[in-house]
């Protein structure tokens, strides 16, 4: 069993920054794909940023150059540094981990993998 707990969401003005965190507990594998997906009202869930156990990263086109994903394996924590936030970034942000699907870009391309573990989400609102 895996538990993911996100924090760090909130309301910010356009151009501002936020840092999301996701703490993992329970079963932890040394081989993983882990990342952030988001969903805005009326829109499909989309990939934001991801990282794998080799340190490779992958970003959605709309956040490249603005967001940075990182992981602290010792603290079992995933981060998302979000800079230059825009109103279109407003969404519920979910932390996700998968221990079965590789490579990273294949996993990132579809949020529906049944072997994904999801957090409860943290709301980000940009005005």
The whole-angstrom separation of Cα 42 and Cα 57 is 28
Over residues 26-71, the pLDDT tens digits come to 888 889 999 999 999 999 999 999 999 999 999 999 999 999 999 9
The pLDDT score that the predictor gives to residue 28 is 83
The pLDDT score that the predictor gives to residue 29 is 86
Over residues 65-93, the pLDDT tens digits come to 999 999 998 999 999 999 999 999 999 99
Q: Does the pLDDT value for residue 18 go beyond 90?
A: yes
């Amino acid at each position: 069993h895996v538990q993911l707990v996100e924090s760090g969401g909130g309301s910010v003005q356009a151009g501002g920054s936020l840092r999301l965190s996701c703490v993992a507990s329970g079963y932890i594998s040394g081989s993983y794909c882990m990342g952030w997906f988001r969903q805005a009202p009326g829109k499909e869930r989309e990939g934001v940023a991801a990282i794998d156990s080799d340190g490779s990263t992958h970003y959605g086109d709309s956040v490249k150059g603005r967001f940075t994903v990182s992981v602290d394996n010792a603290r079992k924590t995933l981060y998302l540094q979000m800079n230059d936030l825009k109103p279109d970034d407003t969404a519920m942000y979910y932390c996700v981990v998968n221990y079965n699907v590789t490579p990273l870009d294949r996993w990132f391309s579809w949020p529906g993998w049944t072997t994904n573990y999801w957090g409860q989400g943290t709301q980000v609102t940009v005005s």
